[in-house]
Amino acid sequence: MAIIKVENVKYKYPDTDKLVLNDMTFDVEQGEFIGLIGKNTAGKSTLCFALAGLVPHFFKGAYGGKVLVNGLEVRQHEIGEISPHVGLVFENPFSQMTGSKYTVYEEIAFGLENMGIDREIIVNRIEESLELLDITEIKDKNPFDLSGGQMQRVAIASVIALKPSILILDEPTSQLDPQGTEEVFKVIENLTKEGITIIMAEHKIDKMAGYTDRILLIHEGKLIDFDTPAKLFSREDLQDYGIIAPAVTRISQSLGIQNKENGLYPVTLKELSREMGDKR
């Protein structure tokens, strides 16, 4: 059964006329790693907010259609009820720190305390997520003393500790250096192994091509395509949507290197070298 079901969702922010989400429909299966791409203002963040329930509950505005996450209809439930199912991490790690806690350890406990979970379970969950995100050695530091990459991992850890079945990441690496980006992607790959469904909006196309199962391309609030990276990046009209295919794909296109079985262009170095190996 699909863990996320989006049916004909339309949305516009208060005091605006433009539909930011325009009649979107798609399903996501449990355990999938979905990439969300589109140029700026395409509606990526809004879609992320819609899945987490912030649209329409936090932002208000006009809303139509249906979003079901884990069987809950987002519109009928408050954010507090949705948040145990859907975790959301966004761009700026700094503003995701609560500011009311003095150590990373306590910071991760924040959400758990709010949900009234027993102390023993809280301690277990914190240990687990510290380990999963590989931040055990900084657990006694003040969250504001950390580097961007570390802070972002703390932000992910504090959401993961709530054991959501779906994790939504809205450009989590846009403020990080290449090393921080790599750290975050590695961690997310680990999370997919735990069976968590992941939706990640991101501009780093090359990374997305390598890690995701399927990619959702949106443009001006409309869903353009939702397919495997290979199929999606082999499209001829990507430029129209402000997307540049991964370097590997562009090279393959210019050189005319295609996968022999399905005629698609490779999207990762590995695939490319396999195809080239076949030629030699």
Partner 1 sequence: MSTMTLYVEKNSILHNTAPLTKVLYVMVSIAITYLIPEIAFVLSVAIITLLLLILGKVFRKIVPILGLSIILILSIIIVQGFFHPQNQTILFSIGFVTFYKEGLSYAALLTLRVMNMIMSFGILILTTKHDELVEAMIKKGLSPKIGYVLLSVLQLIPQMRTTMAKITDAQRSRGMETEGSLLVRMKAFFPLIGPVVLNSINITRERAIALEVRGFSSNQKRSFLNISKEYRYQTAIQVILWLTLAAAIVWRILTWLS
174 sits near partner 1 (criterion: CB under 8 A): no
158 sits near partner 1 (criterion: CB under 8 A): yes
152 sits near partner 1 (criterion: CB under 8 A): no
Question: 105 or 233, CB closer to partner 1?
Answer: 105
54 sits near partner 1 (criterion: CB under 8 A): yes
Contacting partner 1 (CB under 8 A), which of 9, 19, 157, 162?
A: 162
142 sits near partner 1 (criterion: CB under 8 A): yes
Cis peptide before 56 (omega within 30 of 0): yes
Contact 79, 54 (CB under 8 A): yes
Site for partner 1 in 80-139 (CB under 8 A): 80-81, 83-84, 86-88, 90, 92, 94-96, 98-102, 105-106, 109-119, 122-123, 126
DSSP secondary-structure letter at 235? Answer: -
Q: Which amino acid is at 25?
A: T
79 sits near partner 1 (criterion: CB under 8 A): yes
Question: 87 or 229, CB closer to partner 1?
Answer: 87
Helices (H), the chain: 44-52, 54-57, 79-82, 104-114, 119-132, 148-160, 178-193, 205-211, 229-233, 247-255, 269-279
Contact 74, 7 (CB under 8 A): no
178 sits near partner 1 (criterion: CB under 8 A): no
Residues 6 or more apart whose Cβ sits within 8 Å of residue 51: 4, 6, 67, 69, 74, 86, 166, 168, 199
233 sits near partner 1 (criterion: CB under 8 A): no
Q: In the bound complex, what is the minimum distance in angstroms from residue 167's beta carbon to partner 1?
A: 11
Q: In the bound complex, what is the minimum distance in angstroms from residue 94's beta carbon to partner 1?
A: 7
SS3 71: coil
144 sits near partner 1 (criterion: CB under 8 A): yes
Q: In the bound complex, what is the minimum distance in angstroms from residue 41's beta carbon to partner 1?
A: 17
- CA 239 to chain CA centroid, Å, is 23
CA distance 119 to 203: 39
Q: What is the dihedral of CA 266, 235, 228, 216, to 10 degrees?
A: 140
Q: In the bound complex, what is the minimum distance in angstroms from residue 48's beta carbon to partner 1?
A: 10
Cα 116 to Cα 105, 113, 119: the distances in Å are 17, 5, 9
Q: In the bound complex, what is the minimum distance in angstroms from residue 46's beta carbon to partner 1?
A: 12
Question: 191 or 223, CB closer to partner 1?
Answer: 191
DSSP secondary-structure letter at 134? Answer: T
Question: 116 or 263, CB closer to partner 1?
Answer: 116
155 sits near partner 1 (criterion: CB under 8 A): yes
CA distance 82 to 253: 43
Q: How many chain residues are in contact with partner 1, going by CB under 8 A? A: 46
Chain residues in the site for partner 1 (CB under 8 A)? 49, 52, 54, 58, 78-81, 83-84, 86-88, 90, 92, 94-96, 98-102, 105-106, 109-119, 122-123, 126, 142, 144-145, 155, 158-159, 162
